[in-house]
Amino acid sequence: MPHMLKNLTLGLFLAILIVAPVRANDWRVDNVNRVVAISDVHGAYDAMVETLRNADILDDKLSWAGGTSHLVIVGDILDRGPRSRDAMDLLIRLEAEAQFAGGRVHVLIGNHESMNMIGDLRYVSKEEYAAFADEETPEMRERWLAAWAERNGGDAEALRPRFDSMFPAGYFALRTAFGAEGKYGKWLLSKNVVAVINGTAFVHGGLPPELAEIGLAGINEGLKQEMADYVRAVDTLMEAEVLLPTDNYYDHESIVNNYVPSLSASQEVISAVATVAKLFDASLFTPDGPLWYRGNVSCSAIIEEHRLDATLQAIGANRVVVGHTPTPNRKVLERFDGRIVEVDTGMLNFYYKGSGNALVMEGGDLKVHNQSGSEAYAPIAHPRRVGRRAGNLSAEKLEELLETGEILSETEDKETDRTLISVSDGTHTVSAIFSERRGRGFYPDVAAYRLDRLLNLDMVPVTVIRKVGRNEGSLQFLPQRVSNEGQRSASGEGSGATCALPLQWQAMYVFDILIYNEGRTLQRMLYDPSAWKLILVEHERAFKSAKGRPPHLVSASIEVSPGWRETLKALDDAVLAENFADVLDSKRLRSLGVRRDQLIAE
């Protein structure tokens, strides 16, 4: 009898929650004994289930087994993978079961949830459309075929094959389901953007500095309300056929800007047109918003660390857990002494080549449980990686290879006037730029690399002292597949840089003032085009015995941030002598200290 009563009670509880879904309107929770976080499921339902089983959240029947644990889904359940809908349905059920057991499921909005709601369907897979095919009526498809054919100035029957190819079965049912009143759209619009649990913030993309000004309420009420208003306005305009479900989000702005209302147009439609025009570039839709921002994991510490600290302080958190950016080794990583934890490990294996990893936070300890059930591990320090290289070698391993590897070839590149060296350790082969020593005890490229590491600038490639033939000099790693600034600016690329280019350039200017570099050219500014990370090479005209700025930067507007000031203050004369006495003579070393002090004063 008690067992039957328990089942009846749970069933009644579930029934209530099906009618009124659990709302995630409490974005700050304390005194939680155990927190489990996963991110970026991307339709990898089986991997998600295995991961949650190994983190003791699910039992073998896929029921909640987490007790009072809190499960956080750090965004991106959707897109690319085949079983996004199954993943959402499981989480909806687990929300109810967890709450009944005294636990909680926090589903946070990711950029792909946002994309599905606003009509950016670039990454929806054919299997995701197919999951909605049974709910798509012939009348629904005929209505939108007629409207689409009229828009495209053709006969509906003649255009039908093209229409069916572009908008497969399930397309329109999916659009309806992610509308403001659809099952999944309504569910997602009840979710938070940021949650703070036991002092740890969780957000999909990251915490841009602007969030410090609006706080948690501004994020979870203000920014989210803008998204909801946009989705509802689009729904209104689709019903009036001002917009069509076939319209891509990126076409919305031009369509509404060119819309001329008829005399019969309702005030609701006119207001919806104004809303779409106003909110088209709302914060949650842009690269600088918390759903898309990658600066926390991509900008170097000297650029980002103090910006992040200010934002964490403003929202009352001491660290942040982020997804969105797959980690390079597909393991959970940490930066800035653990104030950032990166949990996107590429769960969708066929696309990202990773696996599911659950971050478990319990009693102050952080452990990671893999979907395979292998031994748990602590988050790994984010590796320093300036430029792509064979085997993902660490900076230390790359230094060793350049210092001791076999020199396979030496060639003169007439186009760039570089001496290129090929070096191998028998397993990995890399290219490097050889520069002869500039004077007794003077190795400017080595000095630039060491200073980069002390500053946590992460822009200068690994560089070591090395003798090539009879010549003393330095070997500087030359990354694979790079573009220079001349090529980048000519192509107009780089707007999608994971760390905004102006931020990177500003850091370069301060660095070049510090080392008095007169030799910065477009060819000595390289980029990894996969992320447009800036790479600074060849510093033979740096470290002049001079005060002030190099001539080309005399009138430049330079911002010496608090991060720069604190870092420069730590580079006292003793630190400089310890790290540079063998690569800079005493006069250049003193001048470096003088320029350091001038920058601090600025």
Return d(Cα 529, Cα 481) in angstroms, integer.
8
Nearest Cα to Cα of residue 536 among 561, 554, 519, 549: 519
Determine the angle formed by the axes of helices 586-601 and 573-580, rounding to 10 degrees: 140
Question: In terms of DSSP bridges, do strands 365-370 and 28-29 run parallel, antiparallel, or are they unpaired?
Answer: unpaired
Which string of b and e fits 202-221 if b means at least 16 CB within 10 Å?
bbbbbbbbebbebbbebbbb
Strands 380-381, 333-335: pairing kind? parallel
Strand order in the sheet with 483-484: 483-484, 525-528, 533-536
Which residue type, as a one-letter code, is found at position 471?
Answer: N
Q: In the chain, what are the helix, strand and coil shares in percent, each to the nearest 5?
A: 45, 15, 40
- H helices of 2-110, where? 2-19, 45-54, 84-101
Question: For residues 444 and 580, is the Cβ–Cβ distance under 8 A?
Answer: no
Residue with tokens 């250049």: 588
The pair of structure tokens assigned to 416 is 């760039």
- The angle at the Cα of 156, spanning 154 to 161, to the nearest 5 degrees, equals 105
Distance CA 312, CA 401 (A): 39
Three-state DSSP class for residue 194: strand
Residue 34 bridge partners (DSSP): 362
| Alpha helix positions (H), 316-473 | 349-352, 395-404, 444-455
The label of the residue with tokens 């996969």 reads 530
**Residue 27 falls in which region: left (phi positive, over 0), alpha (psi -120 to 50) or beta:** alpha
The two three-digit tokens of residue 596, written as one number = 């350091």
Return the closest-CA partner of residue 358 out of 32, 40, 78.
40
Q: Could you tell me which residues are beta bridge partners of residue 573? A: none
Query: Phi and psi at residue 88, in whole multiples of 5°?
Result: -65, -45
Tokens representing 450? 């060491």
Reduce the secondary structure of 294-332 to three states and give it as a string. CHHHHCCHHHHHHHHHHHHHHHCCCEEEECCCCCCCCCC
Closest CA to 343 of 355, 389, 514: 355
112 is catalytic: yes
CA-to-CA distance for 423 and 389, rounded, in angstroms? 12
- The three-state secondary structure class of 199 is coil
Catalytic residue among 112, 204, 306, 324: 112
What amino acid positions are annotated as catalytic residues?
Answer: 112
